[in-house]
Structure 1
Amino acid sequence: MNQYQKAFLERYLATLPVTSSTAGRAFSAGYYCDNHQEANLCASLILAGKKRATSSLYEGYVRAGLSLPKKGDLHVVTDWQGCPVCVVEVTSVNRCRFIDVTEAFAEQEGEGDGSLAWWREAHWDFFTRECYSLGVQPSEEMALVLECFEVVYPRRESMNHDKG
């Protein structure tokens, strides 16, 4: 997390009641997706309330030695350039196989037309690229991490790239 992202998170944390605890929560920052156009689109969809979930490849966590996200964790969503857009709080985390992702989850992810067919096609391409970068063979059985979240700290002027 860079200084701008950390300052943005700290501004959010300062809005919480003194009795609120951040103990046990993980904090992270970054964009969703793997390219400029889609990362900025995802940030916009989150701000608009259309994107309320994300998915990632379980093997990516394993290979990087990272803990899985958990309910209550906070994530500073950024645009592609790393500028803070909003803070989301994880509301649920589940693991499932690619083939078992549901229509309801695809709709929560809020991308494309919201259908499971669109989700499967777009995410197959995305996860295939990630699998190849990890030296893993993609399959419909590959394990995913499905996160649902809610925006807890929006930044109205978020897409103006002012880093602050």
Structure 2
Amino acid sequence: MNEQVEQYWDEFCIKNKIDPSELDEAFAFGDTEQMADELADLVNRGIKTATTSLYDPSNSLAKVGKYCIILNGSGKPVCVIQNKVCEIMPFKQVSQEHAYHEGEGDRTYAYWRKANVDFFIKECKQNHWTFNEETPVVCEVFAKV
């Protein structure tokens, strides 16, 4: 965590009377600066309250109740979220409701599915994995604090 992010977190904790150890991580959504900016803005406006990512057993899952700092494409803090739900399931089982709460595009399941299939195929290729309907994904629900 850089100094700017640490200062943001310290000020947030003081203002909201939160123990600084409650931070899970600071991260940006997506794989480009533009995507990170767009998704951080959706979170900040309260439109995006969920996300889906590929399940990687070597990475730890989001800790329910913990906080995360959302960064923009430049790595600057935009807002803080609190993790509410974290579930692992096959891609084909992600619900229309979850897709809607991701807040992207026209918020339809069709839009969500196309965008995520394209994104996950690209990510799987980079990791030498194969993506299909059975690929495990992590579905998270969060709230902006």
TM-score (normalizing by structure 2): 0.93
1:45 lines up with 2:48 in the alignment: no
- What is the SS of the residue equivalent to 1:15? helix
Runs of 4+ in 1 over 4 A off after TM superposition: 20-23
- Residue 30 of structure 2, aligned match among 24, 33, 36: 33
- What is the SS of the residue equivalent to 2:73? coil
- What is the SS of the residue equivalent to 1:8? helix
Say if 1:26 and 1:69, in contact at 8 Å, map to a contact too.
no
Superposed, 1:125-164 pairs within 5 Å as 125-152=118-145
Q: Distance in 2 between matches of 1:118 and 1:148?
A: 19
> How many positions carry a matched residue from both structures?
145
- Residue 101 of structure 1, aligned match among 67, 85, 94: 94
1:107 positional shift: 0.6
1:96 partner letter: M
1:10 aligned partner: 10
2:88 partner letter: R
Q: Which moved more, 1:104-113 or 1:5-14?
A: 5-14
1:97 positional shift: 1.0
1:10 positional shift: 1.2
1:36 positional shift: 1.8
TM-score (normalizing by structure 1): 0.83
> Percent sequence identity over matched residues?
32
1:115 partner letter: T
1:88 lines up with 2:106 in the alignment: no
Q: Deviations over 1:113-138 (max 9, x none)?
A: 11111111000011111111111011
Q: Distance in 2 between matches of 1:22 and 1:108?
A: 28
- What is the SS of the residue equivalent to 2:130? coil
Unaligned runs of 5+ residues in structure 2 are none
Q: Deviations over 1:73-132 (max 9, x none)?
A: 211101111011001110111111111111100010000111111111000011111111
Q: Distance in 2 between matches of 1:27 and 1:68?
A: 10
1:155 aligned partner: none
- What is the SS of the residue equivalent to 1:55? strand
1:26 positional shift: 4.5
